[in-house]
Amino acid sequence: MTEGKKRIFYGYYMLVACLVMLIVGTGIVNNCAGQFVTPVCDDLGLPRSSMTLYLSFQNAALMILVPFLGVIYKKIRPKLVTVTGAVVMILSFAALSQCREAWQFWICGFVIGAGLATVSTSTVSMLMNNWFIKNKGLVIGIAMAGSGFGSMIFNPLGQQLIAALGYQTAYLVLACIIFVVFIPVMIAYRFKPEDMGLKPLGYEEMQEKGGGDAKSGEVKREGASYKEAIRSPKFYLLAFIVLCLSGCGIGTFTHLQSYFTGIGFDPVFAASILGITSAFLMIGKVIWGKVRDTFGPRPTLIIALSFFVLSYVLVLLVPLNDALCYVFAVVFGLAYATPTVFSPLLTIASFGEREFSSIYGSVQIFFYLGPIIGNPLSGAIFDGTGSYANAWILYGVLIFICLIAGSIMLSSKRKEKAAA
């Protein structure tokens, strides 16, 4: 694990690198997109639906590329892939400043997604899985909190840049920030501890329990092969759960501002509720990771998804009492952390770590498919009924189904281990 005199385990440097990578990568490229919609559309005369479609192209690229990351990392040096992807993402994000037609935004969005795949939550999950055996849930949760932290920092900064310099210059300034911050991150980047002659944190404890190869000193990672996983009904149940968590979560969060203002709340008040939600989203990613390490995946899933279901009860009740808005913001913020944290943790819990990168890549198809379905579905329900209420009821039911299905899935996994 560590060598010499009380050196800090290098995995902690990688944890910081991953945290920063998501703060300025996902935090700017994904989470600040909404700040540009109105100024861009007003200046260019584009329909909002056409301009924002670039985000669907971005998610489509992620959905296409992420499943192959595990294979790509085996054939090409991971650091080279990641550096190349980061450069592609930064240049294409900067190119948004020069777009004038909707199709130009769509092309940039697809290229951004292709680059973002190498520095997104998918790669971060692989890195943390490589570097940590002990406290895996906690470190994944801390790293994933980066995107929420980035949203809190760069949404107001992006708004100020647009107001002071215009949206075109704001795109370029934010692209420069990503570039400068990514330089030390890429210098520190190491895909796995074996590249430095190290072992993952917790390797010694695992070896004592018979989980390592004593002769070779290699980490022996147990679990299903990729072929075994994708042929298993459990894989498709996991895919359904990830799809629902992602789709319901983003389909709710994106429309909350419109929902609160539509039922009579002041826009500034509505924005403050979203701010509280974002803060607890960041906190939730750390909490659920720690809870998983302490109590295991099944109790964590039951508790977290119970929060998720409760949030839909609360959002339907907020018209009755203003104070419920704050309760909802806390509960939903914690619940909304589950898609990014549970996607890797449930994959590990279901199929082990033997071929985690490849299996997780395929699971991520459904993670990125969620927003493509969830966002327009919420809008379509509102357009058809004049209310978001039916969307909240539908999402609450879907999450409850996921709670039951996930509990059964993880219970059967525990029985398999006991039998073995």
The yes-or-no verdict on residue 384 having pLDDT over 80 is yes
pLDDT tier for residue 209 given thresholds of 50, 70 and 90 = low
Mean pLDDT estimate for the chain: 87
For residue 203, give both structure tokens: 């390797």
β partners of residue 219: 212
Q: Write out pLDDT tens, residues 371-380.
A: 888 888 888 8
- The secondary structure element, H or E, covering residue 386 is none
Amino acid at 218: E
Instruction: Please report the pLDDT score of residue 2 as a whole number.
Output: 43
Overall average pLDDT of the 279-306 stretch: 91
- CATH 1.20.1250.20 residue ranges of the chain are 10-202, 226-415
CA nearest neighbour of 203 among 143, 135, 139, 290: 135
Confidence of residue 4 (pLDDT cuts 50, 70, 90): very low
pLDDT per position as a tens digit, 181-192:
999 999 999 999
SS3 content of the chain, % helix, strand, coil (to 5): 80, 0, 15
**Amino acid sitting at position 374:** G
pLDDT (0 to 100) of residue 413: 59
pTM for the structure as a whole: 0.78
Q: Determine the Cα–Cα distance for residues 250 and 273; give it in Å rounded to an integer.
A: 16
First to last CA, the chain: 29
| Cα–Cα dist 389/226, whole Å | 40
**For residues 46 and 66, what is the distance between their CA atoms, to the nearest angstrom?**
31
Q: Return the C-alpha torsion angle 97, 98, 99, 100, nearest 10.
A: 120
What does the pLDDT look like over 394-410, one tens digit per residue? 999 999 999 999 999 88
Count of CB atoms within 10 A of residue 174's CB?
25
pLDDT of residue 137: 85
> pLDDT of 67-88, one tens digit each?
888 889 889 999 999 999 999 9
Whether residue 214 has pLDDT greater than 60: no
Among the listed residues 252, 318, 314, the one whose alpha carbon sits nearest the alpha carbon of residue 281: 252
11-43 confidence digits (pLDDT tens): 999 999 999 999 999 889 987 887 787 788 889
The domain 10-202 is placed in CATH, from the list 2.40.100.10, 3.40.50.800, 1.10.3720.10, 1.20.1250.20, at 1.20.1250.20
CATH superfamily of 226-415: MFS general substrate transporter like domains (1.20.1250.20)
Predicted confidence (pLDDT) per residue in 130-147, tens digit: 999 888 889 988 998 888
Q: How far apart are CA 62 and CA 114, in angstroms?
A: 6
Alpha helical stretches, state H, 30-101: 33-44, 48-51, 53-65, 69-75, 78-95
- pLDDT in the model for residue 1: 43
